[in-house]
Amino acid sequence: MLTLIKLAFSAGIIYLVNEVVIRHSRPALGSLIASLPLVSLITFVWIFYGMKENPEARTEKLAAHSAGVFWFVLPSLPMFLIFPWLLRRGMPFWPNLLLCCFITMLLYALMAVILKRFGVEI
């Protein structure tokens, strides 16, 4: 039952953003909602409640997840500038999306190498 609640709540947020942007023509509000770290916050809650029996492990899991999200948000940011730039220059949606995903994956890999070199474990 908890899995269904998690799925419904998480899907509901995606649906909300879609409705705000498309049906109500409020792209700024939709962007604001989408930019909130809702996935991370929801994951914090699911970890918190899912590991009640082991508070020490729960604390470490939450801290590690939060730090990992921080380091992987950074290489994802360029996609949000590259994607609209390419769209406005006439690149079709699907090739643009695939290219942006590929660039982001390369930046993720680069970030992992850099972090490892500086001794940061994620």
Rama region for 119: left / alpha / beta (φ>0; ψ in -120 to 50; rest): left
Polymer length of the chain: 122
pTM of the model: 0.75
Express as a percent the part of the chain with pLDDT over 70.
100
**Residue ranges of domains in the chain:** 55-122
Cα 13 to chain centroid, rounded:
13
Q: What is the pLDDT of residues 41-55, one digit of tens each?
A: 888 988 998 898 898
Q: What is the pLDDT of residues 76-114, one digit of tens each?
A: 999 999 999 999 999 999 999 999 999 999 999 999 999
Instruction: From residue 4, give the alpha-carbon distance in Å to each of 11, 19, 45, 72, 119.
Output: 10, 22, 15, 28, 39
Q: Which amino acid, residue 25?
A: S
pLDDT for 24 beyond 80:
no
Rama region for 25: left / alpha / beta (φ>0; ψ in -120 to 50; rest): left
| Residue written as token pair 């109500």 | 24
pLDDT for 37 beyond 80:
yes
Instruction: Count Cβ atoms within 10 A of the Cβ of residue 119 and give its class: 0-12 exposed, 13-18 middle, 19 or more buried.
Output: exposed
